[in-house]
Structure 1
Amino acid sequence: DQAWGLFQASVAAHDNHVAYYGATEPTGHPDDKWGWAVQLALSIKNIPTGAGDVINISGVYTDGASRYNFQNLSGGSYSMFGSSGVAYQSVGFAIAPDTVFVTGSSQETVKTWGFRGAYTHNWDPYWNTALYGAYAQAQFGSLAKTTLCGAGGAGGVFGGLAGVTGCNPDFAIGQVGIITRWTPVKNLTFSADLNWTHLDQKYSGTVGYAGAGTTAKPAAVYELKDQDTIALLLRAQRNW
């Protein structure tokens, strides 16, 4: 940590301890499996655009510890809906667990990587604006892909469903946003955060969705495709 900025390296270990194969203890469970994550971060201060301006960049790689990437970014599971020209609507599914297993198997780790960066400019002592972006990928192993999609992506639990023409649980998330903060007095900040998120999922075709009350979506045929969403967060924060 110097006047010019900060360089940081961090590691984490995560013990994946899961429940039972079935609903009761006699069904057994897989052995624990350790996961890990490593992150490198760089902060550059004293840049010529203004006093207090800063550029922050970080990159992370995880193996069996997905939460250190996705939960820090935008959550670990998605069920996003949009428009479609061939079905009732479209949907994008994605989930980033730490490990996966099936009855009788050991745990298979899920690998992820990602990076994020931001540039913050101070307009005056009370106002600042930050531009930020992030990208992350989740990559599943052979156990998950074979179980979900079968050999070659044309079978398994999901890939064998009627209408599914492409099956791969791997996915990526990209984000771009801008946030402006106003701090009229010390420890009180008002902010407006506009964010665009893109889900790049690898499924294709159509799928019969059973519907869910939590999303207010009816049972219908949905097209499997990438999704986009825009969110605006208005926030007031008081620190004591």
Structure 2
Amino acid sequence: VDVTQKNRVPDVVGVLRLDQAWGSLQLSAASHEINGGNASFVSTSNTGGLTIASAGRAPTTYGWAVQAGGKFNLPFIAPGDGLYLQGAYSEGANMYTGMANYTYPYDAQSAGPFPGASFITYNNDAVINPATGKYTLAQSFTVVASYLHYWSPEWRSAFYGSYGEVSYNKSARAALGTIGFGFNPTNSGANANAFLYSPTLRDNNLLVAGASLIWSPVKDLDIGVEGAYVRAALNNGLTNDINKNPSGLNVNGVPVKLIGATDTFQTRFRIQRDF
């Protein structure tokens, strides 16, 4: 199956923005073509009571996204202080909610949400449902809040937090399992367990929280430290811990070590000079 997108229509993005002395507000929307080229399922057999769609190319469809955000200046706390709030929702356009941008390149179907993570997460915009021969769109949303505070003209800190989710159509995932994607929910024993604990197209979420302390002794020179806590989790259920059980060893399809969430703490020392 070809998992790449072969877009022929450019994304269309519209923005409505208001800038005032107190801050700014923005509302935006985007459309995104879902086109897998010649990707299709050619089997016409009946497996586990499921009739597979006739051979042919899945028809092109379109995803969309909306975003709203605001910046609120807070000079009464300290000159330069500001509160930033943003939310985004998409169907078939995960890039616009930021989920793909944080974890891995947009053209990657799946990857670890951070180096050394205990399981991989998926980021597909859409899935071909072999029961219908059509795309089913993934849904995602994110909410972000951050606060910038100046301790003095030379010292500042940023505090931020975000939460996001990606959800897939459960019937499409089950239909893929019945035609041999490494698991089969209609079977019993090991095959059914492999489907139950597989990370493939599992609904997942990502939590990020962090802070920084930056010193700017002269204009356009930043020296500081930053730290972030990142937690990725399945919305429900468990999957194989690839760090504890890298070979995929299992008993009757059940991995020896199961996990539902993985987390890390990241730090960085930064010296940045802008020209």
* Bucket of the pairwise TM-score, normalised by the shorter protein: 0.7 to 0.9
- 1:201 & 1:148 partners in 2: Cα distance? 19
Report the secondary structure of 1:234's partner residue: strand
Q: Give the 3-state SS of the residue equivalent to 1:92 in structure 2.
A: coil
| Count of matched residue pairs | 223
Deviations 1:133-179 (A, max 9, x none): 000111112443323667xx981699724594698711111111111
Cα offsets for 1:32-83 (capped at 9, x unmatched): 22111111001110343211100000000111100111134444744369xx
- Contact kept in structure 1, 2:139 and 2:168, CA below 8 Å: yes
CA RMSD of the aligned region, Å?
3.5
Higher relative CO (Cα under 8 Å, sequence separation at least 6) belongs to 1
Partner of 1:190: 223
Matched, 1:234 2:255: no
Look up the match of 1:38.
66
Equivalent in the alignment of 2:25 = 7
1:163–1:206 Cα contact (<8 Å) kept = no
Structure 1 range deviating more: 61-70 or 137-146: 137-146
Query: C-alpha distance in 1, partners of 2:238/2:64?
Result: 35
Correspondence 1:199-238 to 2 at 5 A: 199-202=232-235, 204=237, 207=240, 218-221=246-249, 222-238=257-273
**Contact 2:161–2:210 (CA<8 Å) still a contact in 1?**
yes
Task: Give the corresponding residue for 1:155.
Answer: 185
* Mapped contact 2:159–2:210 kept (Cα < 8 A): yes
TM-score by length of 1: 0.77
Is structure 2 residue 129 aligned with structure 1 residue 96? no
Q: Which runs of 5+ in 2 are unaligned?
A: 1-18, 42-54, 250-256
TM-score for the superposition, normalised by structure 2: 0.68
Q: Find the aligned partners of 2:153 and 2:258 in 1 and give their Cα distance.
A: 49
1:171 to 204, 226, 230: 204
**TM-fit CA distance, 1:195:** 0.6
- Tell me which protein shows more strand as a share of its residues: 1
CA contact (8 A) 1:166 1:202 kept: no
CA positional deviation for 1:237: 2.4
**2-side partners of 1:166 and 1:74: how far apart?**
20
1:49 partner SS: coil
Cα 1:109–1:230, aligned 2, differ >3 Å: closer, same or farther? same
Q: Cα gap change, 1:159/1:45 in structure 2, threshold over 3 Å: closer, same or farther? A: farther
Which string of whole-angstrom CA distances, capped at 9 and with x for unpartnered residues, describes residues 77-116 of structure 1?
A: 44369xxxxxxxx933321211111557221110111100
CA contact (8 A) 1:188 1:238 kept: yes
| Code of the aligned partner of 1:196 | Y
Structure 1 match to 2:160: 132
